[in-house]
Structure 1
Amino acid sequence: MGFRDFRLFNLALLGKQAWRLITNPTSLWTRIMKARYFPEGEFMNATLGYNPSYTWRNILEARPVLEKGLRGRIGDGMDTYIWKHAWILNSHTGRVISPCGPGNEGMRVGELLSPNGIDWDEEKLNFFFLPFERERIKNIQISPNRPSDIWFWGLEKDGVYTVRSAYRRDCGVAKWVWDGLGVDGPMDGCASDVKEWVEACWKDIGETECVKMMVGCWATWEHRNRVIFDNITVEPNFIVTRAKDVIHEGVGECDGEVKDRGRAAGSRVRGEQGEGWRKPRDGYVKLNVDASVKEGEGTTTGVVCRDAGGEVLWGMSIGREQQWEVHIAEACAVLDDLEEAARRGIQFLEVESDCLQVIEAIKGKQTERSMFSLLIEDILACSSQFKSVYWLHVSRSNSCVAHALAHCTPRVLGRILWDDGLPLSTNAAVRFDRLSN
């Protein structure tokens, strides 16, 4: 069956019951367990108690499994304690390691927000946290809708606990990476050196799988270097995401999706829905969005709005210090363009993005628990103020101008709006789109 450690697997199964105690507080079983074993507190702080049942003993034994991946998703921040709960992203434990000053033990995350409730208070972050931890906190996107804080499972993209992810987490980083990339792992057998091993793998499992394997090795080694030299530890799923991003960009290019990354933004590439930008339906405007994330520099989102005649109405670029994952950056770009469109009184629009994960999440309207899902909820809430919105996934060739705004304009923190013509860096893309219509 593929299980190498039955004890770890059983603990992962029991962790599922512990997860239900946390995420289903209104269920009959949870109410019974709470009344019996932790009537005045929460499950994560509950004790064994007097004369506990066999079931309760086993669930408590599995609690450390849950602690390894459990994270707080920040909404209004009033249910999450700064130094008691795990809520820091891209951290091995999720807990704050900056020293807690006297009398600050009961501080909540909500107290770190600015008066408007949707931004972090820079002065407080500088006062309470170490530099590297400040950056991690600022990477947490705050929802303007101020929902309540909830728990999510940091080892899955949707934020929901799975037995598989809990088991793999205890089996080590390398196994997680291999499984996450969908490869069986290094080929069994002997090889005298790395070159011989790679050649054997290439012959045995094929080119595509071998590329995944090599990128997995690189991503794992990069993580190892960051732990040793920068003292930065991330969850294994972030390593898998990093490797998949590289595979998507690199392998896609080799397969003809984008032949040359150095090409001008307007050069021809193969598109999912034809080559080049397509006009929106009559009476609608089209918003194309894209995002760029560069390590050490931050995130830039690009948005361009055009009418049914193909004329550019306005463009926008927003630079931020945060270094999000690509799909989160793309979701922020969509939210940026919706807010600007609402400010300008637009009612009928088509929104195009080359990030399939974002478009599928918006169309699916799935209820999940991750930070990404909170962004999707904000997008859906914002889109409700329009009379009609169409969501479209397109290839990069159908969104060259937005791509140029996100990748080719000078990286400047803050918002830049263009109402009277886009920057020169987009001229090639704009000309290409006009020729394609």
Structure 2
Amino acid sequence: MVLANGMRKSIGDGKATRVWEDPWVMFDRPSLLLAPIHNSTNVEKVCDLMHESGDYWDEGRLRECFDEDICQRILCTMMDTWSQFDMGLDIDTEAISKFWKRLWKLQMLSSIYHALIDCPEIQIMWVMANYDYSSRMYHANVLEWMAVETKSWRDEQLCKVAMAMYFVWERRNAKKFSNEVIKAEKLWSKVERIMDEYQAANLIDLNNIVMLPNLEWEKPEYPYVKLNVDASTRREGGGCLGGLVRDATGCCLGAFMGHNRALEDVMLLEATALKKGLELALRIG
């Protein structure tokens, strides 16, 4: 891929690009420049490193701030100004500015990249991921990120990011169409759970599976009793759980039900239900 190496941020006139906080200098991978402890030169924006005309670099200022290697990299960077691309057009810069302001304020759906990757509300999901997806911050769209970065990823890493983006989109639709708010911190645990279930299913030998004749409740043999529990999450948060104990005749010896506001993971809720069910069975004797 041409974009895989030597990518950099377009600096334009340098007024919108930060020297120390944007990856604007060309390296093999997008990288930030090491900021000095004391910025005595008062350099903040890239335009501070240019002559007032903005047509060429101020080499004296560059050498005050950087070593020779960085200076050469910057000097090799083309000035992205209109003068480099004279198309013979009489361009009204004020009209261009008004156009972009109008375009920015249009009531349009957010971009796919913003909805799936860049939205501040879902950054906690990427932080919780067990793979490093920080390279997403250096690309302009989802397709570019996938095309450039996934060549070095394991299949599991690619599967998980695909599921994560699906759940993010599902969360977005739930909020937009059903006014349902799904917590972003729950998304990655859902990815892990689905992945574990998928991998476990692939390990099962289908030839050794015993098919149950029916799903009816079966009575335990005397003198044993049987405990059945169940749990589920609630849309409002937390979850419900319950269970009952029956003897060999089907008679209910005891039951419980409850609501847990702290747990929102189905597996943890079911484990809690099982624990409470065993405690109930011990009390029954």
Q: TM-score, normalised by structure 1?
A: 0.26
- Larger Rg, first or second structure (1 or 2): 2
What's the TM-score, normalizing by structure 2? 0.37
Q: Give the structure, 1 or 2, with the largest relative contact order (CA under 8 Å, sep 6 or more).
A: 1
